[in-house]
């Protein structure tokens, strides 16, 4: 699941692999990956080119299911033991796409950005301009899961306002 790189200028900082992705051994080999690549306007070859794009999830393995069959949060020991060292080993990263609240919270704290006032992801995505004030830049994204389809319908500004900026930044980096 981990695709660290000494050359990539773009980092996809995600949550943790789902059960299907965990079994495949390759991140975003599901419908979420299809949606994420569409948001980014990149093909699979570009997305999986470690020279261009690093992928570091907050959890390195599938964390299991909760009582409602949803995915549990990423296991904390990955972040606690490995993320600071991984980020230090990739000083060339210019932009981080933080996918989901766990990645957003960790990277924002690391870079001195304030947390979401409500603790929610929507505010962080709405305030995407804040992330351009730090180095590396941070672009907060909702998880591209089908479970967020309702969120995307209720927040059309995401596709209208954020995706064009996201795509321009990615084109600049790769």
CATH number at residue 165: 3.40.470.10
Whole-model pTM: value is 0.91
Return the residue matching tokens 């999830």: 57
pLDDT value of residue 7: 97
Q: Is 6 left (phi over 0), alpha (psi -120 to 50) or beta?
A: alpha
Number of domains in the chain: 1
Q: Does residue 66 form part of some domain? A: yes
Local confidence pLDDT in tens for the 174 residues of the chain: 678 999 999 999 998 766 676 667 688 988 899 999 999 999 999 999 999 999 998 877 676 778 887 776 777 777 778 889 999 999 999 999 999 888 999 999 999 999 888 888 999 999 999 999 999 999 999 999 888 999 999 999 999 999 999 999 999 999
Q: What is the DSSP letter of 5?
A: -
Q: Does residue 2 form part of some domain? A: no
Q: Does residue 3 form part of some domain? A: no
Q: Does residue 79 form part of some domain? A: yes
Q: Does residue 78 form part of some domain? A: yes
Domain extent, residue 105, equals 10-173
Q: Does residue 1 form part of some domain? A: no
- Pick from 6, 48, 13: nearest CA to 138: 13
Q: Does residue 116 form part of some domain? A: yes
Beta strands in 62-165 (DSSP E): 95-99, 137-141
Q: Does residue 58 form part of some domain? A: yes
Tell me how far apart the alpha carbons of residues 35 and 150 are, in angstroms, rounded to a whole number.
14
């Amino acid at each position: 699941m981990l695709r660290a790189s000494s050359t990539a200028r773009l980092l996809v900082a995600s949550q943790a692999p789902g059960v299907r992705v965990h079994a495949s051994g390759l991140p975003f080999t599901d419908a979420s990956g299809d949606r994420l690549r569409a948001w980014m306007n990149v093909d699979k070859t570009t997305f999986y080119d470690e020279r261009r794009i690093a992928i570091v999830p907050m959890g390195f393995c599938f964390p299991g299911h909760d009582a409602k069959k949803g995915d549990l949060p990423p296991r904390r020991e990955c972040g606690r033991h490995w993320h600071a060292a991984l980020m230090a080993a990739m000083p060339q990263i210019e932009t981080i796409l933080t996918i989901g609240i766990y990645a957003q919270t960790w990277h924002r704290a690391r870079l001195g950005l304030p947390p979401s006032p409500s603790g929610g992801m929507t505010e962080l995505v709405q305030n995407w301009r804040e992330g351009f004030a730090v180095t590396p830049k941070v672009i907060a994204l909702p998880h591209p899961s089908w479970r967020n389809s309702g969120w995307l319908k209720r927040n059309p500004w995401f596709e209208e306002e954020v995706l064009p900026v996201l795509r321009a930044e990615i084109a600049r980096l790769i």
